[in-house]
Amino acid sequence: MLDLTLPEVAGTFVGIWGLAQALSRAMGKVFGGGLLDIGRSLSGPENTFIAFSFVFILEIAIMLSAILVLEKVNIGRFKEETSTKIETFMLAELDA
């Protein structure tokens, strides 16, 4: 995340990063519990190994798909485009 932070908007990006982390933790607990309940209903209440395996296998699949998406992120291009847009915005604010 720090590679994607420009000095002009560091506070905004870091704030959004903190919000994203908080939301991901909350969603992880809710969805993880829901998936565990689904795993328990599929395997039976006494077979917890299969229920937890179900959750972990799905989490691994989601993690691998996230890695595939993040491979497409180009940090240099992001900084270049964001810097250009910030300059345009700042100049528009000065003209107003």
- Mean pLDDT in residue range 62-81: 87
pLDDT confidence of residue 4: 64
Q: Are 9 and 24 in contact (CB under 8 A)?
A: no
The residue with greater pLDDT, 26 or 10, is 26
Cα 73 to Cα 38: distance, rounded to the nearest angstrom: 34
Residue 3 has pLDDT above 80, yes or no: no
- Residue-wise pLDDT tens digits, 85-96: 777 877 777 776
- Residue-wise pLDDT tens digits, 18-60: 899 999 999 989 998 999 999 999 998 888 999 999 999 999 9
What are the structural domain ranges in the chain? 7-95
The residue with greater pLDDT, 1 or 77, is 77
Cα 32 to Cα 59: distance, rounded to the nearest angstrom: 9
Note the pTM of the prediction, 2 decimals: 0.60
Sign of the alpha-carbon torsion through 82, 5, 7, 80:
negative
Cα 87 to Cα 91: distance, rounded to the nearest angstrom: 6
Q: Are 55 and 36 in contact (CB under 8 A)?
A: yes
